[in-house]
């Protein structure tokens, strides 16, 4: 699966370069390459959000609220979960 994603990103990059050098901003090549790159980035962000969610579960399960930096840890854990969600939303709706 990783090889397929890397090949897809390489093809999208080549299409983007061809569209850039053709100097046609509304070309089909550019729109196809942008769509391919957005799908690739969305897959990466989605996979990483699962990793962040698992790490947050470990933090919430084993961290003690009596720890002096518990609030800071919780803030950054929640920020780490919200950033991929915001990234997915921006890739889908932009």
Residue 33 corresponds to which tokens in the numbers above? 């390459």
Q: What is the pLDDT along the chain (94 residues), one digit of tens a residue?
A: 678 778 888 888 888 888 888 877 677 877 888 888 888 877 887 787 778 778 877 877 777 777 777 788 788 878 877 887 887 787 777 6
Residue 94: how many other CB atoms lie within 10 Å: 7
Distance CA 11, CA 93 (A): 23
Tally of domains in the chain: 1
CA distances from 29 to 38, 87, 93 (A): 14, 24, 20
Tokens of 24: 């046609």
Read off the pTM.
0.58
- Max CA-CA distance within the chain? 61
**Residue 41 near residue 51 (C-beta atoms within 8 A):** no
Residue-range definition of the domain harbouring residue 48: 2-93
Q: CA-based angle 28:6:39, to the nearest 5?
A: 50
């Amino acid at each position: 699966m990783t090889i397929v994603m890397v090949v897809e990103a390489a093809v999208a990059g080549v299409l983007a370069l061809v569209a850039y050098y053709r100097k046609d901003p509304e070309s089909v090549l550019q729109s196809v390459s942008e769509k391919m790159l957005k799908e690739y980035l969305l897959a990466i962000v989605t996979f990483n959000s699962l990793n962040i969610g698992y790490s947050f579960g470990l933090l919430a399960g084993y961290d003690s609220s009596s720890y002096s930096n518990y609030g800071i840890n919780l803030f950054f854990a929640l920020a780490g979960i919200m950033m991929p969600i915001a990234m997915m939303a921006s890739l889908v709706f932009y």
